[in-house]
Structure 1
Amino acid sequence: MDTVRTAFIPPAPVPRTGPVGTIELIRTIYRNPLELWGEPSYNEPWVSIDWAFQHTIIANDPGLIRHVLVDNARNYKMAAVRQRILRPILRDGLLTAEGETWKRSRRAMAPVFTPRHINGFAAAMKRTTESFAERYESVAGTIDVSRDMTMLTYDILAETLFSGEIAGEPDEFAHEVDRLFETMGRVDPLDLLGAPGWLPRFTQIRGRRALAFFRKIVAETIVLRKARMDRDGDAVPNDFLTLLLRAEGPDGLSRAEIEDNIITFIGAGHETTARALGWTFYLLAQAPWERDLIEQEIDAFMQQDPLPAPHDWLNALPLTRAAFEEAMRLYPPAPSINREPVEDDQYKDLHIPKGSAILVMPWTVHRHRLYWDNPEAFVPSRFHPENRDKIDRFQYLPFGAGPRVCIGASFALQEAIIALATLLHRYRFDTVGTAKPWPVQKLTTQPDGGLPMAVSARR
């Protein structure tokens, strides 16, 4: 069957063909930045724009992206607008910290995300997914797969990085994540206009309750673990939470930095994987010829006796992995990477002025017509083993690149493949009705209104 001819084209904004006025620009960025970008953003290696509030360069060329994120990364700091959005939520967590604070946090967390540690999490990921899957045995009607994946990835995060010791209830957690990203996860018009920090942001005011909820979870989680460390000594789990708390001290992390990093991983760290999983189930339901191939791969794999250890699943299920990676191409969990040059810079014939906004946007790079064939279509075969070498390292950026590449990328990939294999072996997920989920950029690429789907047992 011709993959291109039968490929499913999932919903996405149509590129704009005309200029955007300042008021419409601000309105669109607040409502959904994915709807802002025009034809040049999907056709040109870079686009240089003088907007009312800042000179902006949209970087699509893989060489330019490498220049900004790797080769000359020292000249590029986190963009001020991005920091004004994220710092009120994450403060000095790994995603927002800079300089020595970032280095201390990265150094403290590195031991958790070594291959040996990540492999050690695999059995718990499988066990947690199997337990979660039991809820579908008695499901009748429609479920929201987007919300369910938020709850599943929360359960996995709690069981692996926190050894089951996150305070709070998963149902309440999922609700508050949605609320936090709906409010504080959006660009506030005052941030775009460069208004002073003391001026209240309406979006942040609306999100304070959700942020307080997360701060309370963190405080209670730390109290629980500190008490266990005092009581059990070396018998305490040597997980993410313990390593952070043991890194506390004059030469390590402050208590505030520990809290900020826990917030980062409880909130944003699991959210990206949850969204990518939800989009994968949706895309496979709309492309049954792809789903058939993956079900066959998973079924054959699961019939092995003995079944390979969970940490081997990622490399043993290439078609399943390819579908997940293609879902992250079409709906990148983090749709934009924002930088700002400290000094003037030059890349080929492009002048990059100090203080300009540099947008490296996986959303446009992943759909760019110079770098992908049939870029709007769901074609998992792009990521089949025989085709992977055709993809430039800097044209596919679901986890970023350079010194600030996502520290949990391997964790997320292993988690996703174990979850997909476990769930798709037992159940089939089908879309319901004619509604098309609309992608909206908040902190992540989210389906507006969720992903309503019907679940049925396969065997």
Structure 2
Amino acid sequence: MGGTGCIRAAGPENPFVPPAPVPRTKRVGRLELIRIIYRNPLELWGEPSYNEPWVEVDWMGMRTIIANDPGLIRHVLVDNAKNYRMAAVRQRILRPILRDGLLTAEGEVWKRSRKAMAPVFTPRHIHGFASAMQERSEAFAGRYQTPGVVSDVARDMTLLTYDILAATLFSGEIAGEPGQFAKEIDNLFETMGRVDPLDLLGAPQWLPRFTQIRGRRSLAFFRKIVADTVAMRKDRMAKGEDVPSDFLTLLLKTEGPDGLSRAEIEDNIITFIGAGHETTARALGWTLYLLAEAPWERDIVEAEIDSFMREGPVPPHQWLDRLPLTRAAFEEAMRLYPPAPSLNREAVEDDRYGDLTIEKGSTVLAMPWTIHRHRLYWENPDAFIPARFHPENRGKIDRFQYLPFGAGPRVCIGATFALQEGVIALAILLSRYRFDTVSQTKPWPVQKLTTQPEGGLPMKVTPRR
């Protein structure tokens, strides 16, 4: 596996450096390359990827550009975005799951979907979900009342974000049994969310992919539950019943000739579950781990939360702005362990950026994993230093060197939702409990659609008051 391991520190003068793969210094053969990408793509990248503005490589006869320079990233994702489509390998992995959801739709389908859903993600609607986020976080926190070692805080955070998603997306009205629903989500992304070796070899699509075969049962189950849930809500709306003003209702109101089809609504619900459940859960788990390994940083966050809680009730939609140091820790965790570690594009026509020629058909990889740890753009890039994101320092960070939610026209539409959810959950959990690592806490970052802690995050949870 190979990596930095955990370099423990004594305090802020010697910040905590969490585990991550050591950049490669030697070339590897094709079969070894495929093995690494299937097992853990984060272990693939070499020294140039962390030191150069861009790196040009040849993969199976196809030119690939690893883009780290913020200006180049802006060029590809914003200034000349019309010349870049989603990379074919990425689409072969995600489209069987998400179909025409926002992450995978292209062209006119994507434009129509984005336009139809933009009103769903207005600040008013996102703020309206804050109370449900607070309520579900408070209810979830009750499971930690008995002190002891929790088997896996990473797993706990997937359960918490699932609870929040169920409350805000469906108001708890899910067809079938919620526990089985959550289990099938996990299995779906563990199987079909991985790179298949045949895709890397450019094998024809008619050849069956082992990873997809393993996930088909979960995908069928998952899609049936979503379809049944949509049908139940649609039936209630047709009867004129009072229905919750949640994401499901808002999405169903976009159905029609100028909006979304029923199939597209279902695709986007599945996309929101994948993007909103899994990614936020990973970010929360990594934040709790990093704060536990850097107790001087945890003291700062706890002090802010304690002072805030003593002020008396504050509407939960204001917490994101009122807890800037808590938000900073969450954002620094997403810098070190970006929930979505790669953004893949393919050039439609020849292009040029400075002295770099980007030929038609070239793949451009803008990878938050390497960009967020790049030595040209960050000081002490491998260390956990939340102060980078404190209000007085935020202006020093280029918009295109920090990409936890992407950028440009395809920036994550739920970014504010995720930030609000993360800060509310952290404020409630850290106001009541202290999370500490134990001898078994030895996570290793692995890319399986998201950046996951292999080995989990077993932690000791102790009431603070």
* AA of the residue aligned to 1:345: D
How far apart, in 2, do the equivalents of 1:6 and 1:173 lie? Answer: 44
* AA of the residue aligned to 2:391: P
Going from structure 1 to structure 2, the CA distance change for 1:3 and 1:318 (only over 3 Å counts) comes to: farther
Contact 2:147 2:463 in 1 (8 A): no
- What do the CA deviations read for 1:119-159 (whole angstroms, capped 9, x no partner)? 11111110111011111113543231111111111111111
1:262 paired to 2:273: no
Aligned partner of 2:5 in structure 1 is none
Aligned partner of 1:410 in structure 2 is 416
1:204 paired to 2:212: yes
Aligned partner of 1:392 in structure 2 is 398
1:41 paired to 2:49: yes
Cα distance, 1:178 vs. partner?
Answer: 2.6
Q: What is the count of residue pairs matched by the alignment? A: 457
Q: Superposed, which structure 2 residues align to 1:42-441 within 5 Å?
A: 42-138=50-146, 140-233=148-241, 235-305=242-312, 307-441=313-447
* AA of the residue aligned to 1:382: R
Contact 2:339 2:450 in 1 (8 A): yes
How far apart, in 2, do the equivalents of 1:111 and 1:325 lie? Answer: 26
* AA of the residue aligned to 1:194: G
Cα distance, 1:255 vs. partner?
Answer: 1.7
Cα distance, 1:4 vs. partner?
Answer: 5.5
* AA of the residue aligned to 1:298: I
* AA of the residue aligned to 1:436: K
Aligned partner of 2:3 in structure 1 is none
Contact 1:53 1:192 in 2 (8 A): no
How far apart, in 2, do the equivalents of 1:308 and 1:237 lie? Answer: 24
- What do the CA deviations read for 1:202-222 (whole angstroms, capped 9, x no partner)? 000011122122112202211
How far apart, in 2, do the equivalents of 1:238 and 1:174 lie? Answer: 23
Cα distance, 1:85 vs. partner?
Answer: 0.2
SS of the aligned residue for 2:460 comes to: strand
Query: TM-score, normalized by length of structure 1?
Result: 0.97
SS of the aligned residue for 1:77 comes to: strand
Unpaired runs of 5+ residues, structure 1, are: none
Corresponding residue to 2:30 among 22, 29, 51: 22
How far apart, in 2, do the equivalents of 1:435 and 1:454 lie? Answer: 10
How far apart, in 2, do the equivalents of 1:325 and 1:160 lie? Answer: 23
How far apart, in 2, do the equivalents of 1:400 and 1:435 lie? Answer: 30
Contact 2:440 2:458 in 1 (8 A): no
Aligned partner of 2:4 in structure 1 is none
How far apart, in 1, do the equivalents of 2:78 and 2:305 lie? Answer: 37
Contact 1:330 1:367 in 2 (8 A): yes
* AA of the residue aligned to 2:52: E
Coordinate RMSD, CA, aligned: 1.5
Contact 1:143 1:452 in 2 (8 A): yes
Aligned partner of 2:459 in structure 1 is 453
Contact 1:431 1:454 in 2 (8 A): yes
Contact 1:70 1:401 in 2 (8 A): yes
Contact 2:276 2:418 in 1 (8 A): no
* AA of the residue aligned to 1:122: A
* AA of the residue aligned to 1:104: R
Contact 2:149 2:458 in 1 (8 A): no
- Structure 1's consecutive aligned runs of 4 or more residues displaced over 4 angstroms after TM superposition are 1-4
Cα distance, 1:179 vs. partner?
Answer: 1.7
- What do the CA deviations read for 1:182-217 (whole angstroms, capped 9, x no partner)? 211111111112111111000000111221221122
Cα distance, 1:357 vs. partner?
Answer: 1.0
Of the structure 1 ranges 219-228 and 119-128, higher mean CA displacement relative to structure 2 is found in 219-228
* AA of the residue aligned to 2:413: I
How far apart, in 1, do the equivalents of 2:118 and 2:344 lie? Answer: 24
Cα distance, 1:223 vs. partner?
Answer: 2.1
Cα distance, 1:173 vs. partner?
Answer: 3.4
Cα distance, 1:171 vs. partner?
Answer: 3.2
- What do the CA deviations read for 1:222-247 (whole angstroms, capped 9, x no partner)? 122112212334x3223321222222
SS of the aligned residue for 1:138 comes to: coil
SS of the aligned residue for 2:364 comes to: strand
- What do the CA deviations read for 1:75-122 (whole angstroms, capped 9, x no partner)? 000000000000000011110001111112112211121111111111
Contact 2:136 2:164 in 1 (8 A): yes
Contact 1:121 1:160 in 2 (8 A): yes
SS of the aligned residue for 1:249 comes to: coil
How far apart, in 1, do the equivalents of 2:383 and 2:126 lie? Answer: 32
Cα distance, 1:320 vs. partner?
Answer: 0.4
- What do the CA deviations read for 1:12-45 (whole angstroms, capped 9, x no partner)? 0000001121111111111100000000000000
Contact 2:441 2:458 in 1 (8 A): no
Query: TM-score, normalized by length of structure 2?
Result: 0.95
How far apart, in 2, do the equivalents of 1:107 and 1:409 lie? Answer: 17
